[in-house]
Every structure is written in structure tokens, then in C-alpha cells.
Structure 1
């Protein structure tokens, strides 16, 4: 990104990520890890602040704790989970590249996830951004990027579906309808 200041980058990158993900991943391929982490913290903190404001206004009080947990788990555990499949499918650019993809892929979810009814759109666009990021930073094909994402989401959904068919499932999850797109 040249000699652009960190603050300028932190304002530039979210917009660029939303409208031109492939270009963003080309741009950040060699970016310092500190800049990538700062970006991740800024978008997650933005999301948490907006979620807190929405909760205080009475708009979405039940989302605050799940938002904090989801943000941390998505970046940490989700990054390793994704990398497991990326590596298995031939991505050899390292776990750092996968975490770059995850952090930048969170952009739409972080910017829109706090808005009831719009969070799902952000989540879906995040998946698209991760798809482009995997191709660009892990140098894997379109088909392998799709397969990695299908496995990352498909295996937990399959396990949840199997769990849901077991007797007593409702004891552990009394209201599946309360799932939110955080």
C-alpha cells in the first residue's frame, strides 16, 4: 500500500474490501501483520459498539453477548478451522494468509451485522469475500475455494442436523428460532 498511514488504511480498506475484494487481497498480500490485526480490531470494535448502542436503544438487547462471543470465535477458531480445509485442498501460503482472508472477510458482517434484518446480507457477502480471498492469498482454484467453504460450513451444519434428530435435543437448545445472524 505504499507509504499510506495506518489511520488512512483503516478508513480505506473497509470500503475497498466491500466493493473490490480481489483488489484488496492483492493490495494486502504483503501488508504487515500489525496492520492486518489493527484492521481486524477496528472492524470488530465498530461492530461491538454499534451492537451495544442498538442494545441500549432496546433494538437488539439479546445480541450483545452472542456478538462478542461470535466475533472472537469467528476470527480465532474459524480461521484455524478454515485453514485445515484450505491446507487439505492445496493452499500452501500459510495460516497467516488464511487469517488475513478471515479478517478481511469479516468486513461486511462487522459493518452490517448489528442491523436487524441486514446482518444476513453482510454474512453472505462475507462468504463471497472469503471465497475471493482464498483464491487470491492461498492461490487455490475457484472449485477448491468453494469446496473449502462448503466443508467449513457444511460439516458443522451436518453435525447440528444430526444432533437435532437425537432425543432430548430440545433440552440443550430450547428455542432454535432464537438463532440470529450476528
Structure 2
């Protein structure tokens, strides 16, 4: 039981550090063990999922309306948690490809650590309607600093790696949406 109290204190300290002194906190995290990083991420995901669920239930999250079963509070919460973990694994792997190509050789765990810790502002406050994007931008900036510090590459290389990792999937999604839209319009005009 004493261990969980130490773990909670460590997580609260890390959250404060990422919000108040992120560069120092990122630099101190270089040698952290996977267990501590995973515990931190689980806490962030649970906090984010609770607020995401609340925003969905009160109707302030229009994205949740497009998901089948989104009227059930347990489904929304479970979906938020599940998607957070799946998307994190996929994004970290994708991001690490670009970090590696641009010179980051400290391993995928450093990339994962950057994703988890730099995501703190977004996970804690990104759910806020109308201003959540500010925390997404803050997390983006912290990600660049984290990649720089944990992979020991330049800010420019870190920024390019992150930008490519974000822009390429977005462009592909836009192209896919356009193809689906054109296909739908073609079929609708035939019928």
C-alpha cells in the first residue's frame, strides 16, 4: 500500500513539473522506467476519459455523436480509454520512424516517453470546449522539446519529425474523405 502512495505522489509531482517546468521535467525523465511512464499515462487517460465522457453526456462533444453506441456512458468512457491506448501505440511508432530518420537514435521508448509527458496539457485540459486546442498546441510544442532533449537532436529536426508524423496522416485522411465523397456523389447521382 505504501508503494501506491509513492506512485501517486510521483505522478502528481510529474504533472506539476510538466505544467510548470516542462523542460526540466523532460530532462529528468531520461532514465525513467517503463512502469512509471505507463502508470503516468494510465492516470492521464483516465482523467481525460472522465472529462471526455462528461462533455459527451452534456452535449459539448460533437465528435461522440458520430460514434455508434455513444448514448451509453460506459461505452463512451470505454471507447475513450481504448482509443487512447490504440492511437498512442500507432502514433508513437509512426512518430519514431520520423524521429529515427531525422537522427534520433535513443530508442522508441524515449519517443513514447515524450508522447506521454508532452501530452500532459492536452490530456488534462484538452477536453475543454472552445479552448482545448490551446492545450493541443502546448503539447505539440512540448513534444518538440521532448524529442530534442530525449533524443538529443536539434529543435529543427524534432519539429520536422513531429510535423511529418502529423501532416502525412492528415493529408491521407483528407484524400480518403474526398475519394469517399466523390464515390458517394457518383452513386447518389446514378440512383
Q: TM-score range by the shorter chain?
A: 0.7 to 0.9
Q: Aligned-pair distance for 1:9?
A: 1.2
Q: Normalising to structure 2: TM-score of the pair?
A: 0.78
What corresponds to 2:189 in structure 1? Answer: none
Structure 1 runs, 4 residues or longer, greater than 6 Å off? none
Write 1 or 2 for the structure with the bigger share of helix.
2
Q: Tell me: CA distance 1:170–1:108, structure 2 relative to 1, closer, same or farther (3 Å).
A: farther
SS of the equivalent of 2:129 reads coil
Q: 1:92 to 1:61 in 2, by over 3 A?
A: same
State whether residues 163 and 169 of structure 1, in contact with CA within 8 Å, keep that contact through their aligned partners in structure 2: no
The separation in 1 between residues aligned to 2:132 and 2:83, in whole angstroms, is 13
Asked whether the 8 Å contact 1:105–1:127 carries over to 2, the reply is yes
Q: Does 1:30 align with 2:43?
A: no
In angstroms, what is the RMSD of aligned CA positions? 2.4
Matched, 1:106 2:107: no
**TM-score in terms of structure 1 length:** 0.82
Which consecutive unaligned segments of at least 5 residues does structure 2 have?
65-75, 186-191
Offset of residue 10 of structure 1: 0.8
Q: What residue number does 1:55 align with?
A: 56
Matches within 5 A, 1:1-182: 5-60=6-61, 62-63=63-64, 64=76, 67-68=80-81, 70-166=83-179, 168-169=181-182, 171=184
How far apart are residue 70 of structure 1 and its match? 4.5
Matches of 2:144 and 2:158, distance apart in 1: 6
Q: What is the distance in 1 between the residues matched to 2:12 and 2:158?
A: 28
Higher mean C-alpha deviation, range 51-60 or range 112-121: 51-60
- Describe the shift of the 1:105–1:169 C-alpha distance in structure 2 as closer, same or farther (beyond 3 A): farther
List gaps (5 residues or longer) in structure 1: 173-182
